[in-house]
């Protein structure tokens, strides 16, 4: 199975309003709730691709109970650790006219030291059956900034391939523990390396410890710097839609290709097709299965040769 870790899970709530006008009162037309947090999103996409999946991390309080109740009928298996604090909500306010979204993210619950200890013990035992593990998203209050580094080390000690998808200091610390894969977006990569030049920045990120760096570059697709070479994969044509969850779908594609033993170009094609099919989906964070099948053979993958890339 594939294990995904979401330390700061969330109940994602979407509000449809006519138009958001600060300092006025709005009647919300439609309320949609779904289990959220990057690792949970990744697991949903993996499950839709037919992979056996387990989600872990933390959930607690009334919001945690709602989140777990919504997870229960879905395919990923729930191995979240119960905490005393209350799982956060995120609210996406979508304007009816433009479709533009205003995001309000609650802070996460404070995780207690004994809850972190309980999580580590559960994580270790889940790793025994894991073909790969993804560590995703921000850290809630109470979790030390080196937490992802610790989870990377524990996965590597058990020879479980580990992907890290986070940002800021947790990424900086985590990458030094030598994860198999990191998937920063352009902003996260620039924050880590100080460079906005993708090729230079992905190589810098590799030197910091990651075996492979796959940068997600929005409409330009993915740039992968691996031990076997450097590739850029992009959708056959630009698409319009809602990019929410596109990065999580890319992570799911990379993991899916990894456990299937695909080549890098094949893994990147899968990740780009999934992430493009997510932008095209009607519901935020879902992917359009027909679009995915259609796109899969049409992703362009270009290898940067050693000479051209200066490798």
Residues forming the active site: 248
- Closer residue to its own copies in complex, CB, 1/190: 190
Closer residue to its own copies, CB minimum distance, 188 or 288? 188
Q: Alpha-carbon torsion 155, 139, 170, 43, what sign? A: positive
Angle at 150 between CA 149 and CA 155, to 5 degrees: 100
**Residue 19: CB minimum distance to its own copies, A:** 8
Q: How far is the CB of 225 from its own copies (least distance, A)?
A: 28
* Residue 201 to residue 75: CA distance in whole angstroms: 37
- Reduced to 3 states, what is the DSSP secondary structure of residue 252? helix
CB of 106 to its own copies, least distance (A): 5
DSSP strand E in 227-278: where?
229-234
> For residue 229, how many other CB atoms are within 10 A of its CB?
15
**Residue 109 φ then ψ, to 5°:** -75, 155
Name the residues that contact its own copies, by CB under 8 A.
15, 17, 20-29, 31, 62-63, 65-66, 69, 91, 93, 95, 100-107
Nearer Cβ to its own copies, position 274 or 284?
Answer: 284
Query: How do 81-83 and 212-216 pair as beta strands?
Result: unpaired
Dihedral (C-alpha) 269, 166, 281, 221: value to the nearest 10 degrees? Answer: -40
**Least spacing, CB of residue 108 vs its own copies, in Å:** 11
- Please say which residue, 17 or 79, places its beta carbon nearer to its own copies: 17
């Amino acid at each position: 199975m594939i294990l995904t870790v979401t330390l700061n899970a969330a109940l994602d709530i979407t509000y449809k309003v006519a138009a958001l006008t600060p300092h006025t009162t709005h009647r919300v037309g439609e309320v949609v709730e779904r289990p959220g947090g990057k690792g949970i999103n990744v697991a949903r996409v993996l499950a839709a691709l037919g992979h056996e999946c387990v989600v872990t991390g933390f959930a607690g309080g009334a919001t945690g109970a709602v989140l777990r109740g919504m997870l229960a009928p879905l395919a990923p298996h729930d191995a979240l650790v119960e905490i005393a604090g209350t799982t956060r909500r995120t609210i996406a306010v979508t304007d009816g006219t433009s479709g533009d979204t205003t995001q309000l993210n609650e802070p996460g619950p404070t995780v207690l030291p004994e809850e972190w200890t309980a999580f580590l013990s559960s994580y270790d035992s889940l790793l025994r059956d894991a073909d790969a593990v993804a560590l995703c998203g921000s850290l809630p209050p109470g979790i030390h900034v080196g937490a992802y580094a610790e989870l990377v080390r524990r996965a590597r000690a058990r020879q479980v391939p580990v992907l890290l998808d986070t940002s800021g200091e947790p990424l900086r610390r985590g990458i030094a523990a030598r994860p198999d894969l990191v998937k920063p977006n352009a902003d996260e990569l620039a924050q880590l390396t100080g460079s906005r030049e993708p090729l230079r920045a992905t190589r810098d990120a590799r030197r910091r410890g990651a075996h492979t760096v796959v940068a997600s570059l929005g409409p330009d697709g993915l740039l992968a710097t691996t031990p076997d070479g450097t590739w850029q994969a992009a959708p056959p044509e630009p698409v319009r839609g809602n990019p929410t969850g596109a990065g999580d779908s890319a992570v799911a594609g990379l993991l899916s290709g990894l456990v299937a033993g695909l080549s890098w170009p094949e893994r990147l094609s899968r990740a780009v097709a999934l992430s493009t099919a997510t932008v095209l989906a009607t519901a935020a964070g879902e992917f359009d299965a027909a679009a995915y099948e259609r796109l899969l053979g049409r992703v362009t993958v270009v290898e940067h040769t050693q000479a051209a890339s200066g490798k």
